[in-house]
């Protein structure tokens, strides 16, 4: 987490300094059982378009972008991720440029009656989905950093219920027209097995709801 202002700098600085604020992740590569099925999901739900395609591989991202956010590779016979699996990919997180963008995305999810998880993490508001292969997806928007609560150099975070109606009120009259060009891939989180038999990648509860139009 980086800021040009020392007053808003948070976290414990690494000995070698921080990564530049312009640092970006490249595309995530995922194996899927049915490429056409996955393309339909990423298009109709996330608003990603096919930017390139060769053989059994498709590159997807926001329209008019040249750099993809996700590369899908069809692997026939690949098994879906178990719902409570303890190893492998937990979720891929995409950051939208603004809260109104997230609000329009949430309103869009009501139309196909999509199952979605929702959480308020204090520093951000987040929505959680699952793709046809059981791979987790987080779509979120950060709150302004001057609204983040701090205790010294530590950032206050939690998993609280999301105020759905308050978020949707930020959508305005503009419709969801697909993922904004400024959408970023922020992280790919993996699960790890714990001696307790529970995954440690998501220790806090995510509040879930079924959106109905």
Q: What is the pLDDT of residues 53-94, one digit of tens each?
A: 998 999 999 998 999 999 999 998 888 776 665 555 667 999
Residue 187 falls inside a structural domain: yes
For residue 110, name the pLDDT band (cuts at 50, 70, 90): confident
Residue 50 falls inside a structural domain: no
Residue 138 falls inside a structural domain: yes
Which of these, 76, 75, 68, 70, lies nearest to 31 by C-alpha position?
75
176, pLDDT greater than 70: yes
Pairwise CA distance, residues 192 & 39, whole Å: 28
Residue 151 falls inside a structural domain: yes
Residue 17 falls inside a structural domain: no
Residue 124's domain comprises 80-210
Residue 149 falls inside a structural domain: yes
- Split into its structural domains, the chain has a count of 1
Residue 203 falls inside a structural domain: yes
3-state DSSP: the chain helix, strand, coil percent, rounded to 5? 15, 30, 55
In sequence order, the 6+-apart residues with CB closer than 8 A to the CB of 56 are: 35, 73, 74
pLDDT tens readout for residues 114-138: 789 999 999 999 999 999 998 889 9
pTM for this model (two decimals):
0.79
């Amino acid at each position: 987490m980086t800021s040009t202002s020392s007053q808003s700098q948070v976290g414990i600085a690494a000995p070698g300094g921080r990564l530049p604020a312009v640092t970006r992740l490249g595309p995530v590569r995922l194996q899927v059982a049915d490429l056409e099925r996955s393309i339909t999901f990423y298009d109709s739900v996330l608003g990603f378009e096919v930017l390139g395609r060769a053989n059994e591989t498709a590159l997807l991202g926001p329209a008019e972008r040249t750099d993809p956010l996700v590369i899908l590779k069809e692997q026939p016979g690949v098994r879906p991720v178990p719902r409570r699996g303890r190893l492998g990919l937990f979720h891929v997180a995409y950051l939208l440029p603004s809260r109104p963008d997230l609000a329009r995305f949430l309103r869009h999810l009501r139309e196909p009656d999509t199952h979605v998880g929702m959480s308020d993490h204090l520093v951000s508001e987040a929505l959680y989905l699952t793709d046809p292969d059981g791979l987790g997806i987080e779509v979120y928007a950060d709150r302004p950093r001057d609204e983040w609560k701090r205790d010294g150099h530590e950032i206050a975070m939690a998993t609280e219920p999301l105020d759905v109606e308050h978020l949707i009120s930020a959508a305005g009259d503009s419709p969801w027209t697909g993922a904004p060009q400024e959408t970023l891939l922020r992280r790919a989180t993996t699960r790890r097995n714990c001696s307790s038999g529970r995954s440690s990648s998501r220790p806090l509860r995510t509040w879930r709801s079924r959106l109905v139009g």
